[in-house]
Structure 1
Amino acid sequence: MSGATPPRPGSAGTPLIEARGVGRSYGSIVALHDVSARVLAGEVLCVLGDNGAGKSTLISILSGAQPHGSGEFLVDGQPTRLSSPREARDHGIATVYQDLAVVPLMSVWRNFFLGSELTVGHGPLRRLDVARMRSVASAELARMGIQLRDLEQPIGTLSGGERQSVAIARAVYFGARVVILDEPTAALGVKQAGIVLRDIARARDRGLGVVFVTHNPHHAYPVGDTFLLLGRGEMLGTYARGEITVEELTRLMAGGSELDDLTRELGRHPS
């Protein structure tokens, strides 16, 4: 399978994917309630929230891991009910999880094509097209601005940021129009997080829609176009970049008025 050409950047037009008032319950437990979001070509939607905010449930719906229980989910403006991640990929929706599905001892190029290897020949003479896979992996990584020392090295020897970069480039090559990134910078240092943020910006500039799920507003703000805040399974607000500052994002993430009350309480009882 060859890499698909992504749409041109631009916020005009039909969202690539859109959730309208979606929800999901597990018995009597409401994990997500009445959440709406839209992902446009050439834009980054940042989904922010603390643990238990509903981020994982929203990812599972957008990625096809489980269907929404209420509301409406649309792909290219058409109501859709995804039944599996494979069906989501068929719609051009790829999800890169924090615990990347890689084989650490295999080379970078083998992991790039893992599960979708290119072959030559037929029948008993069929074999891996090693030369082509090496060439394609090198070219696609270069297109994303990713420079690695040696594609033969085991992917487990790469830094966390570099492994995330390979996963993003792989998703783009295999035709993703929407890339969902689940906490890609959570376990990374400042420099490695910067590598991932750069790759997010490059994917956006190539016309992809990016969903960047994070609990860190300082990572979200440099690349985000729209910010969706979740708390206890519900929307706390949706803000365009020009409508909110990183300080306001941080305050809302920290609890807003609840944090102010705690600060006053601690101030009355100094240690």
Structure 2
Amino acid sequence: MTERGDVIYEARNLSKRYGAVVALDDANLKLHAGEVVGLVGDNGAGKSTLVKCLSGAHAPSSGQLLLDGVERSWKSPHDAIQAGVETLYQDSGLAPHLSVSANVFLGREELKPGLLGRMGFLAQKSMDRRAHEDLDRVGIAVPASGRSVAQLSGGQRQAVAIGRAVAWASRVIILDEPTNHLGARQAGEVLHVVERAKAEGLGVIFISHTLPHVLQVTDRVVVLRLGRVVKDAPTSEFDVDTLLGTITGLISD
């Protein structure tokens, strides 16, 4: 297990309002290097709003975001990505007709050196090799990086999507329901990649309704209810029943 490092990403007193509706109310969250934090809550608890603020998709109405102790104000998700914060939503965003390596480099394609590159020719062999190395580094066993994503299982596709995010993230990776609709074996493949991301020293935010997966892979759990953080505690303090009770309000801190 990787020893937990310094705080790399922090939300301080974050709020988001849509007119009269308060979707997020004075929320605080800290994420350390080499740590997996579970973010849980019922539908409408504010998880998606918090993730959108953290990822740069939405600007908070008030509060602060700090990356490596420096206050940041994302104008777009691209700003967050450029700073090392990668987000994988439930829709993995893979292009099934493209190869694994093409998906890993989607939007970041490498061109051949010299005149051919200026003419728009891609450095396909280099991308295939680097994609294979990047996925192998995070423990993803894909038969060939040139294989079409459409030929992969659901678990392999999701693992590739996470592997792509891990390969490009330098600080933080946010995973929104990464094991949703996967079988036990496929979900196990994805959870293994999450553990490898932690071992790489990344900070991981893991959002899931599948509470056993949250308990299996996280170090700490943050519970949201009605837009507020109602519990932030080590995962060891929870089991499925107490975590469910905290989410629903049947158990109060």
TM norm. shorter chain > 0.5: yes
Secondary structure of the residue that 1:120 maps to in structure 2? coil
Question: 2:147 — aligned with what?
Answer: 153
Matched, 1:203 2:197: yes
TM-score, normalised by the number of residues in structure 2: 0.93
Q: Which residue of 2 aligns with 1:189?
A: 183
**Matching residue's letter, 1:10:** E
Corresponding residue to 1:101 among 68, 74, 93: 93
Structure 1 residue runs of 4+, over 6 Å off? Answer: none
> Offset at 1:66?
1.1
2:88–2:176 Cα contact (<8 Å) kept: yes
The match for 2:4 among 8, 11, 17 is 11
Question: Which residue number corresponds to residue 138 of structure 1?
Answer: 132
Give the equivalent residue in structure 2 for 1:91.
Answer: 83
**Cα 1:257/1:248, change in 2 over 3 Å:** closer
CA distance in 2, matches of 1:85, 1:113: 17
Matching of residues 111-260 of structure 1 within 5 Å: 111-123=103-115, 125-256=119-250
CA distance in 1, matches of 2:154, 2:233: 30
Q: Does 1:21 align with 2:21?
A: no
**Which whole-Å CA distance do the structure 2 matches of 1:193 and 1:220 have between them?**
12
Aligned-partner residue type, residue 29 of structure 2 = A
Mean CA deviation greater in 94-103 or 122-131: 122-131
- Mapped partners of 2:237, 2:126: distance in 1: 47
Q: Is the partner of 2:93 in helix, strand or coil?
A: coil
Alpha-carbon distance in structure 1 between the residues aligned to 2:251 and 2:38: 22
Could you list the per-position Cα deviations for residues 117-145 of structure 1 after superposition, in whole angstroms to 9, with x for gaps in the alignment? 11113345441111111111111111111
SS, match of residue 175 in structure 2: strand
Say how many residue pairs are matched.
250
Tell me, in whole angstroms, the C-alpha distance in 2 between the residues paired with 1:89 and 1:148: 25
Gaps of 5+ in 1: 1-7, 259-271
C-alpha displacement at 1:158, in angstroms? 1.7
TM-score (norm 1): 0.87
Gaps of 5+ in 2: none
The reply on whether 1:57 has 2:32 as its aligned counterpart is no
**Residue in structure 2 matched with residue 4 of structure 1 by the alignment:** none
Q: Which amino acid aligns with 2:89?
A: Y
Q: Tell me, yes or no, if structure 1 residue 41 matches structure 2 residue 52.
A: no
- Report Cα offsets for 1:246-271 as digits up to 9, x if no partner: 3311322344259xxxxxxxxxxxxx
On the 8 A contact 1:118/1:129 being kept in 2, the answer is yes
Matched residue type, 1:11: R
- CA offsets, 1:149-199, max 9 Å, x none? 232322122222212211222222224310000111122122211111111
Deviation by residue 1:197-220 (Cα, 9 ceiling, x = unmatched): 111111001111000011221110
**Aligned residues with identical type, % of pairs:** 40
CA contact (8 A) 1:21 1:35 kept: yes
Q: Is the 8 A contact 2:176 2:206 kept in 1?
A: yes
Contact 1:109/1:134 (CA < 8 Å) preserved in 2? Answer: yes
Contact 2:139/2:192, CA 8 A, preserved across alignment: no
